[in-house]
């Protein structure tokens, strides 16, 4: 009988914390353990966020930040009144939606291809994740070169195929720039979803799969019955993360197009950076940032609400 076990009853009545009763019972231990990280995040994330929020209600120039005027909701009202800001929202929504759908769909396709054993599977699984290990700025640089109008390898291939779209300047063309950026982004991030889904596929029950096969089910039915229910929560989580990351992504787009041509690839974060460092209006930039953060927050709340509802529904069935 250890001394910790003897103290257990008193522990469960402790108003602050219940340590893992079988170990020592100092109720302050978890707080001591968490304190450094909480202070760190409050200093380098919480406090800057608060300052950004305050800044969004002011008119502040990057050149003279000392002279800051309180303007209330004016920055927000001006954003809402500008058609080009709604275009930024539209580009952001399109970019995010296509990233989510294609990165996860391709990731799932790759995961299904690499799931069952074959010779060289280990090497194939390693190679397929390479894009994810490459630095985004380097990826942006090499894709910009491959997409070069005159000397890029893409247009060379298109000419070989004798399509009528050779010599197009991808990143300078308002209609082609966003597809080019999307192509680059998805190339970089789909390996992440394939790694996560490969892990999830290990949870697929062999019995259910075999039972479906014995019943003579085709591949699609087997997927629906045996695979999809197992990986669905993982797919939902991926949707959340790819959405949040797409809303945050800056480096790849900035290096490739800086949001151009004529705003065709200008997402919220690019707009925020442009306002802060090109237009030098810190207050307006902060307001853009707050709009972006609100969207991320809404997406997250919807995700948690939907997953809880799904869990409750499963509990009832």
In the range 58-77, which residues lie near another protein by CB under 8 A?
62, 65
Q: Which is nearer to another protein, 83 or 285 (CB)?
A: 285
Which one of the spans 37-45, 74-82, 83-91, 94-102 is the region binding another protein (CB under 8 A)? 37-45
CB of 19 to another protein, least distance (A): 6
Interface with another protein (CB under 8 A), residue from 9, 13, 16, 83:
16
Per DSSP, what are the bridge partners of residue 59? Answer: 69
What does the per-residue mask of binding to another protein show for 131-170, with x meaning CB under 8 A? x-xxxxxxxxxxxxxx---xx-x--x--------------
Interface with another protein (CB under 8 A), residue from 7, 52, 173, 209:
52
Cα→Cα distances 52→48, 58, 60, 99, 204, Å: 6, 10, 11, 28, 46
Distance from C-alpha of 182 to C-alpha of 150, rounded to nearest angstrom: 21
Interface with another protein (CB under 8 A), residue from 8, 59, 68, 307:
307
Q: Does residue 172 touch another protein according to CB under 8 A?
A: no
- Closest C-alpha among 295, 179, 317, 305 to residue 248: 295
Which one of the spans 40-48, 69-77, 78-86, 90-98 is the region binding another protein (CB under 8 A)? 40-48
Cα→Cα distances 100→27, 223, 304, Å: 43, 21, 17
CB of 99 to another protein, least distance (A): 15
Paired tokens of 248: 């945050």
Distance from C-alpha of 134 to C-alpha of 128, rounded to nearest angstrom: 12
φ, ψ (nearest 5 deg) of residue 70: -75, 125
Paired tokens of 250: 């800056």
Distance from C-alpha of 180 to C-alpha of 168, rounded to nearest angstrom: 12
Q: Which is nearer to another protein, 66 or 83 (CB)?
A: 66
Q: Which is nearer to another protein, 107 or 178 (CB)?
A: 107
Q: Does residue 208 touch another protein according to CB under 8 A?
A: no
Interface with another protein (CB under 8 A), residue from 6, 17, 163, 278:
17
Q: Does residue 279 touch another protein according to CB under 8 A?
A: no
Interface with another protein (CB under 8 A), residue from 6, 101, 165, 297:
297
Site for another protein in 183-202 (CB under 8 A): 187, 191, 195-196, 198-199
Tell me the longest C-alpha to C-alpha distance in the chain: 83
Interface with another protein (CB under 8 A), residue from 2, 6, 82, 302:
2
Burial environment of residue 227 by CB neighbours within 10 A (0 to 12, 13 to 18, 19 or more) = buried
Q: Which helix (H) or strand (E) holds 25?
A: none
- Secondary structure of residue 69 in the 3-state scheme: strand
CB of 82 to another protein, least distance (A): 19
Q: Does residue 305 touch another protein according to CB under 8 A?
A: no
Distance from C-alpha of 170 to C-alpha of 149, rounded to nearest angstrom: 7
DSSP H stretches of helix in 45-135: 47-55, 74-81, 83-115, 121-128, 130-133
Q: Do 236 and 305 meet the contact criterion of CB atoms below 8 Å apart?
A: no
Q: Does residue 47 touch another protein according to CB under 8 A?
A: yes
What does the per-residue mask of binding to another protein show for 99-138, with x meaning CB under 8 A? -----------x--xx---x-----xxxxxxxx-xxxxxx
């Amino acid at each position: 009988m250890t001394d910790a076990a003897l103290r257990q009853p008193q522990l469960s009545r402790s108003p602050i914390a219940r340590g893992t009763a079988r170990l020592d019972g100092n109720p302050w231990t978890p707080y001591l353990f968490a304190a450094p990280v909480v202070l760190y995040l409050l200093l380098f994330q919480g406090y800057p966020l608060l300052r950004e929020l305050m800044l969004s209600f002011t008119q502040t120039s990057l050149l003279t930040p000392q002279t800051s005027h309180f303007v209330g909701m004016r920055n927000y009202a001006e954003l809402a009144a500008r058609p080009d800001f709604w275009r930024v929202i539209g580009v952001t929504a399109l970019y995010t939606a296509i990233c989510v759908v294609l990165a996860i769909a391709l990731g799932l396709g790759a995961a299904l291809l690499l799931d069952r054993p074959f010779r060289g599977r280990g090497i194939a699984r390693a190679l397929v994740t390479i894009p994810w290990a490459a630095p985004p700025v380097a990826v942006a640089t090499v894709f910009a070169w491959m997409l070069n109008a005159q000397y890029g390898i893409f247009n060379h291939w298109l000419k070989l195929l004798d399509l009528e779209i050779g010599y197009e300047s991808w990143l300078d063309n308002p209609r082609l720039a966003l597809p080019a950026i999307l192509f680059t982004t998805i190339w970089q991030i789909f390996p992440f979803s394939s790694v996560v889904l490969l892990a999830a596929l290990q949870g697929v029950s062999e019995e259910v799969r075999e039972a479906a096969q014995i019943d003579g089910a085709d591949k699609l039915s087997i997927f629906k019955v045996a695979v999809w229910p197992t990986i669905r929560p993982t797919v939902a989580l991926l949707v959340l993360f790819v959405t949040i990351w797409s809303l945050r992504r800056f480096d790849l787009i900035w290096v490739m197009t800086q949001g151009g041509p004529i705003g065709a690839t200008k997402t919220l974060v690019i707009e925020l950076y442009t306002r802060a460092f090109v237009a030098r209006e810190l207050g307006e930039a902060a307001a853009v940032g707050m709009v972006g953060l609100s969207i991320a927050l809404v997406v997250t709340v919807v995700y948690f609400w939907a997953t809880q509802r799904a869990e409750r529904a499963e509990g009832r069935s």
